[in-house]
């Protein structure tokens, strides 16, 4: 997993950060990390369908976004 997030956003004080693998030898997964007040609330991985050679594939981004929407609902963070 990369040390720098591919993207982050905050909702209701929860910071969502998504990470891609650093190399092709790393597990080919998105890692989604949710923190609040410096504490990790949730961490999960979801598989990538395509190796992110020049960034993530649009299918992988869509799958990640759908999973993030589910996590927001599961944590009760919907508006």
pLDDT band at 78 (very low <50, low <70, confident <90, very high): confident
Which stretch of DSSP H or E encloses residue 19? strand 14-19
pTM of the predicted model, to two decimals? 0.91
Residue pointed to by tokens 């998504």: 18
Domain ranges of the chain: 7-74
pLDDT digits (tens, 9 = 90+) for 66-77: 999 999 999 999
pLDDT digits (tens, 9 = 90+) for 2-57: 788 999 999 999 999 999 999 999 999 999 999 999 999 999 999 999 999 888 99
Which stretch of DSSP H or E encloses residue 72? helix 58-74
Nearest alpha carbon to residue 32 among 21, 12, 17, 22: 17
């Amino acid at each position: 997993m990369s040390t720098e997030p591919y993207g982050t956003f905050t909702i209701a004080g929860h910071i969502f950060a998504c990470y891609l693998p650093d190399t092709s030898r790393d597990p080919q997964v998105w890692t989604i990390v949710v923190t609040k007040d410096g504490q990790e609330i949730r961490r999960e991985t979801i598989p990538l369908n395509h190796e992110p050679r020049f960034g993530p594939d649009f299918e992988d981004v869509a799958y990640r976004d759908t999973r993030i929407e589910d996590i927001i609902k599961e944590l009760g963070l919907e508006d």
